[in-house]
Structure 1
Amino acid sequence: MVFIHRFLPAGLILLLLAGSPVEAGKEDGRGQGRWRRAFASAIKDADTWAPAAAAAAIAVGGYDKKISDWATRTTPLFGSRETAVKASDDLRLASDIGMAASSFFLTRQSGGPRSIQGRTAYTGVGYVGAIFSTSMTDVLKAATGRLRPDGSNTSSLPSGHTSRAFAYAAFSQRTLRESGLPKGVRMGLRWSLTGLAAGTAWARVEAGAHYPTDVLVGAGLGNFAGKFVSELILGPESEMHFSFNLNPEQPQVLVGWSF
């Protein structure tokens, strides 16, 4: 059961994303090059490596437990650990809604899909990134087995709430960047959505569910997953295809893309 719930989802997502290298046998190596470009773009993004660097600095400095103890004792932002637990769920949900709303309503302004079906398919890419992030998070949780600050279990590293929220934020940033909105509006929305993800992360620390390094690793992982998937599927030279079958007896939503 542990394999099914943790390792299999990640394997399936990786298999899905690995569909591009199937074309690598062709002379132009287009699929393989696309995979590499998407990986390089995501891993070099500051929102991926900066949280990882911060986590390393906190760990090396011996501040991880000190910050965690202070946050759970004083709960400066949320007032209590119980409130922080609820806030982390609410803020993650808000990140989800923010990503879906921005993707569905703003993509038509950037020259992207204009039909309801097309915008739904585009938004679905954001969810693929979030699912990929969650799957990788579950694999790492099982591999690291770190005890949570509250001692409840050994699923502390990395933070699943945080990785999911930052995957949503990463896809939202892409949508906003291409939306054609005025720069000030774009920046305001970007920081608002990033703030929801950051709030999710800090709430997990105040709740005693994670150490600071757990949420920082989760933030970097979520950003990587969201940007890797979006670049792989929506980057230059890709072409999305979608079809809907609204038969009540067997409804289907089929989304595909060429590389």
Structure 2
Amino acid sequence: MKMTFLFACFLTPFLVSGCAKSNNASLLWDDIGDSARRAALAPETWGPAGAAALVAAGGWDDKIQASASKHRWLMSGDTSPEELSNDLKEAVTPIYLLSMVLATPPAAENADALEWKAENVALLAVNREGSDSLANLLKKKSGRDRPDGEPDDAMPSKHVMYTSVHTSFARRNLDYVDMDPNWRTAAKTGLYLLDGMEALSRVEADKHYPADVLMGMAVGNFLANFSFNLLLEEKNEQAVKLAIVPEGRGWKLELDRVW
């Protein structure tokens, strides 16, 4: 079975609109580079990616998948693993929305807070569409068959990428919710467990191998953290801003570095 590990830099459909100052573009690229670096170094990115590499290098993919499918480590009742994975995928959207509603940057006024929330939702929508397109591309490039025999559709897991994008945004939003730190840690831990349950249910359902779901988790977390770092994280006065503007019959996203 052909195995190719693909680490891709997420190119969102942003159209960079520069300001008049000549050094603005270089500053914007500095922001992009810093955001990408921190997203790649986040434990929720390199941890699953490293685990996927370890599983593949050890030749354990088939053994773990077969054992999970046989023994149903997660699901032993009437609910099938595939049904569970679909239920978990549907659950992450309301979880994210709740985190977005509760989150408010500490220094933001009412109008600024609403603008931040709108950008939060818009950016999640971009990540959802972008992760779907990227997953399709990586599946074709990896040339990896699913355990159930479906060709060229295994790596990475689209279900897990989708879930990870939402839970990553929710975890980041929790940093802007006024709550007890212990409760925040507990909530973030629960979101990590949700990611793990989604991944394991896909393996038990014979839809993916462990490396597939781990890479889906890594890529999904990278995309979400990168965009959150760049556009939603609290920064100083020199910040990157997201704008949604009409163009022709559709819309475009613009990135500006404002002073």
TM-score (norm 1): 0.81
Match of 1:178 in 2: 176
1:145-164 equivalence runs, <5 A: 145-164=143-162
Question: Retained in 2: the 8 A contact 1:99–1:126?
Answer: no
Distance 2:255 2:102 in 1: 21
1:1-259 equivalence runs, <5 A: 14=11, 16-17=13-14, 19=16, 22=18, 26-28=22-24, 29-79=26-76, 83-103=80-100, 105-108=101-104, 110-112=106-108, 114=110, 118=115, 119-235=117-233, 236=235, 237-240=239-242, 258-259=256-257
Change (3 A) 1:134 1:113: farther
TM superposition shift of 1:46: 1.1
TM superposition shift of 1:74: 1.3
Distance 1:114 1:92 in 2: 32
TM superposition shift of 1:27: 2.1
Change (3 A) 1:253 1:144: closer
Q: Which moved more, 1:212-221 or 1:132-141?
A: 132-141
1:182-233 Cα deviation digits (max 9, x unpaired): 1011112111222222211110000000000000000000000101111222
Q: Which moved more, 1:123-132 or 1:133-142?
A: 123-132
Q: Secondary structure at the match of 2:144?
A: coil
Distance 1:24 1:64 in 2: 53
The amino acid of 1:200's aligned partner reads: E
TM superposition shift of 1:110: 3.7
Question: Retained in 2: the 8 A contact 1:47–1:220?
Answer: yes
Q: Secondary structure at the match of 2:13?
A: helix
Q: Secondary structure at the match of 2:74?
A: coil
The amino acid of 1:169's aligned partner reads: T
Q: Unaligned 5+ residue runs, structure 1?
A: 1-9, 245-251
Change (3 A) 1:15 1:194: closer
Which has the larger helix fraction? 1
- Identity among equivalent pairs (%): 27
TM-score (norm 2): 0.81
Higher relative contact order structure (alpha carbons within 8 Å, sequence separation ≥ 6): 2
TM superposition shift of 1:158: 0.6
Distance 2:141 2:252 in 1: 34
Q: Which moved more, 1:146-155 or 1:119-128?
A: 119-128
Question: Retained in 2: the 8 A contact 1:94–1:196?
Answer: no
1:124-162 Cα deviation digits (max 9, x unpaired): 222322322222211100111211001133200110000
Change (3 A) 1:54 1:81: farther
Match of 2:3 in 1: none
Question: Retained in 1: the 8 A contact 2:81–2:202?
Answer: yes
Change (3 A) 1:55 1:80: farther
The number of aligned residues is 240
